[in-house]
Structure 1
């Protein structure tokens, strides 16, 4: 692939690199990791293979060899040689074709996965996902949730939070009526993760994202559940969300359900390949 135009903040990202947090190095990786997995599965790549994470305006890309591609995540109105193509389906792109993105339709980050076109590769042609438009972000209670006043506990789940323009890959700042704690106290820095919800001194919150630090001293009100992180990652400036507290058991059940759906997709692809090879 040759980049005719680079676009804004276009980077190759995988599912993150673990094992170095004790040295202060965070895993980083894609903001919408579920989409990375889906697209790589559809192309029968390793799930952790890096793919292109794009923001709008997105890059223009010239393909210098026949390539199978699939785009997912945000909808940037993709075209091949100015002919519209759809997200979530594998497409054979010929040598010399140019991929362009016309306008932002929905979402914040689009992803492009690729695979060299080979005679023995049978691309899966079914649709693999749909964009989640719901505005509820579920979270599990954090270690310092009890520091909130009773009024703020209720307010946390009964008011809308707007994504601030100051949000980035490190964290999403959310604006709403300020939350209050019963008593202010100094906290020892503790481990944080992708999705940790921290309470800032201003009473506003920040949700840590893919490039988060490894530890922090702000109160940890909760953690966004894994299955809702992609939804948050796909939000744009001034997107409004409601937070809903769920149990750890419910969060685990939702994650298990998601993993089962991925296994169904893998099974469908194996069945598709077996059917067409015989």
Structure 2
């Protein structure tokens, strides 16, 4: 069967054993909570990306305000009084992102009015130049380290956290697969995210997955809210590239049916007594 007929999923051997017993399910189905597994790829990715995203968001605030003619000293002195907004993600990019952006804009402009009662005028050309200014980058990092109570710091932290909460809610509510045309690239990415643990590759026929949709956050992926039964899943154990075998990333190797077994037939030798 052609590669285009399949969807792929890289996971740990430990999780594969759970999938063998219960099928492929979302975290929401398993626990009743739309919270990503703390040891999963999303949680690891969030821990790595959130600090930089927060710094970038704060830097964007500074560039915007500085471009209106306000000085960095004025921003440092006007700390403001921040009251967190209330936001509960629904698990839909179309619903959640516009709502969050609206809350952010309202908060941000309320701070701008502390410095400029009429909000001033954004100088777009200057804002672009400020975005490349290492002094603004340094100012953002210093504020995050030394001035955590500042209005803009707290807004950046809350906004970015809510952005990840949206992504987490969607992640925890869906099962994810890699598209076949990106299988080799995703393999390397997910291996890195999962870390140094024993892994296997799973595959399922695209036609066997109910209500499959594109993943808005990753063009290489597809997702579904619906359970995929273990009887529909196949497993590749010898997926690494070695001198003896080309491994999963090789198209002909992963299209060779003899390199796959039904998940229900798999016995994990590494976890046998």
Q: TM-score, normalised by structure 2?
A: 0.26
Larger Rg: 1 or 2? Answer: 2
User: Which is strand-richer, 1 or 2?
Assistant: 1
User: Which is helix-richer, 1 or 2?
Assistant: 2
Q: TM-score, normalised by structure 1?
A: 0.26
Q: Which has the higher contact order (CA 8 A, sep 6+)?
A: 2
